[in-house]
Amino acid sequence: MDNLDLFKAALGIGSDWEVTQVEFVREKNELHLHLRYLRSASLPVCQECQAAGVHVHDYRSHAWRHLDFWQHKTYLHADVPRVRCEQGHLHVLDVPWARKGSGYTLLLEATVLEMAKGMPVAQVAELVRLSDKKLWRIIDGYVQRALARQQLGAVRRVGVDETSRRSKHRYITIFMDLDTRKVLFITEGKGKQTIAAFAKHLRHHGGDPSVITDVTCDMSEAFLSGIAEHLPNAQVTLDRFHIVKLINEAVTEVRRRERREQPCLKGAQYSVLKRPDHLNEKERALIADMEERNLETARAYHIRLLFDDFFSQTNPEYARGFLKGWVTKAMQSGIDEMVNVAGTVRKHWRLILNWTSSRLNNGLLEGFNSLLQAMKASARGYRTIEYITTIGYLIGLKPAEGFHHE
């Protein structure tokens, strides 16, 4: 095998092409590989009319940036045939190493996309030696093609959650298919209008809002109102993670209030949010001391632990009785913060109990949001809503979507 055959094998360009020249430009540290099309006895059929008898009409020169060979920037060059069928249709032949209209090889684009899922685009740009603006165009092109190909007719169960975009009052809302575990839609904001936007997106891609059977979300009144209006046949299950978070926040407020008069609570902020089997020896001693002092924090802590048992109930009637008992216990505790959270649970009673039939939660979205926030932090934030939305789609879509010849 000579050098030309070696490069051909490395490129994986198929039998219709060959490497004719390898040129190294030392002053630019660039490697240029020149390819030639070998006229095949059986040219492809016409892309427009599927007619046979297609022949090469002429050639058009093209160049593509490839992944570096060793430490050298690498470019592919080829005269790509334009072919004509007997009906007179004329089109440029597809090449096996790049998408039509792209100035980059598929391997370079695939590498960029994979790396951009785990590191800031600026770092990827340094590694592949392309500007971050060019990389954003590659990523955005992939995302837009994937979204254009979305077929959402089979979507039935959806998770909805918001995450902060920049400051505390600027959000994006994410919709995920709980069955296929992929992102369906990302939009700015966190109100009722996000549900309307999702319903519109669903219809645009072959889906039907009226056939959505289940939605999981937090207790946002805007979400609940939007779902009732735009996803009319969906059963709402309030997400268990948000419910537990609400109760945890109540326990934390009790501890903060009592800490002013009880110095022993100063280091207990994490201990009172853990299950007993996760406590270390020092934390167990701290909980025991709180119980001995009959502190409200200790009582709130046990009310919070009791709520976890709701999610182990298998019988809907038992679950209903358990939740009723928990609300009564929290109400009778006399602890203002726990009384308030019990009132919230009672207000959303039916939607919490829907968990006993759906068994759905937003754990998938919580994990996705954590990943997205980690990406945002490592990139020191994204300048625009378009950037964070693009990254969200990139890590939430299936790997093969949007990555095809055109």
Nearest CA among 380, 396, 404, 403 for reference residue 132 = 380
CB 183 within 8 A of CB 174: yes
Amino acid 87: pLDDT: 84
Is 404 within the bounds of a domain? no
Amino acid 381: pLDDT: 66
73 and 60 in a single domain? The answer is: yes
Count of residues in the chain: 406
Q: How many domains does the chain have?
A: 3
172 and 278 in a single domain? The answer is: no
170 and 213 in a single domain? The answer is: yes
Name the residue with tokens 């440029």.
92
273 and 336 in a single domain? The answer is: yes
Rounded CA-CA distance 240/279 in Å is 22
326 and 381 in a single domain? The answer is: no
- CATH code (residue 168): 3.30.420.10
Amino acid 168: pLDDT: 59
Amino acid 400: pLDDT: 46
Amino acid 331: pLDDT: 97
Is 129 within the bounds of a domain? no
10 and 30 in a single domain? The answer is: yes
354 and 249 in a single domain? The answer is: yes
26: tokens are 């030392």
Amino acid 40: pLDDT: 62
DSSP 361-397: -SHHHHHHHHHHHHHHHHTT--SSHHHHHHHHHHHHS
HSE-up of residue 66 (Cα within 13 Å, Cβ side): 24
206 and 271 in a single domain? The answer is: no
179 and 223 in a single domain? The answer is: yes
CB 393 within 8 A of CB 183: yes
Is 134 within the bounds of a domain? no
pLDDT truncated to tens, each residue of the chain (406 aa)? 577 888 888 888 888 899 999 999 999 999 999 999 987 655 778 877 888 778 888 899 999 999 999 889 999 999 999 988 888 888 888 899 999 899 999 999 999 999 999 889 999 999 999 999 999 999 999 999 999 999 999 999 999 999 887 655 689 999 999 999 999 999 999 989 999 999 999 999 999 999 999 999 999 999 999 999 999 999 999 999 999 999 999 999 999 999 988 888 888 889 999 999 999 999 999 999 999 999 999 999 999 999 999 999 989 999 999 999 999 999 999 999 999 999 999 999 999 999 999 999 999 999 998 888 888 887 766 778 888 899 999 999 865 444 554 4
Q: Which helix (H) or strand (E) holds 346?
A: helix 336-347
Is 73 within the bounds of a domain? yes
Rounded CA-CA distance 298/295 in Å is 5
257 and 344 in a single domain? The answer is: yes
Nearest CA among 48, 121, 113, 55 for reference residue 82 = 55
251 and 186 in a single domain? The answer is: no
Is 118 within the bounds of a domain? no
368 and 228 in a single domain? The answer is: yes
Nearest CA among 210, 216, 146, 214 for reference residue 184 = 146
Rounded CA-CA distance 11/185 in Å is 36
**CB burial readout 301-331, b (16+ within 10 A) else e:** bebbeebeebeebeeeeebeebbeebbebbb
Is 131 within the bounds of a domain? no
Residue where one domain finishes, among candidates 64, 84, 103: 103
Is 143 within the bounds of a domain? no
Residue where one domain finishes, among candidates 58, 86, 103: 103
Distances (CA, A) of 207 to 130, 197, 211, 318, 397: 38, 13, 8, 37, 17
Is 390 within the bounds of a domain? yes
Residue where one domain finishes, among candidates 103, 120, 140: 103
Range of the domain at 46: 3-103
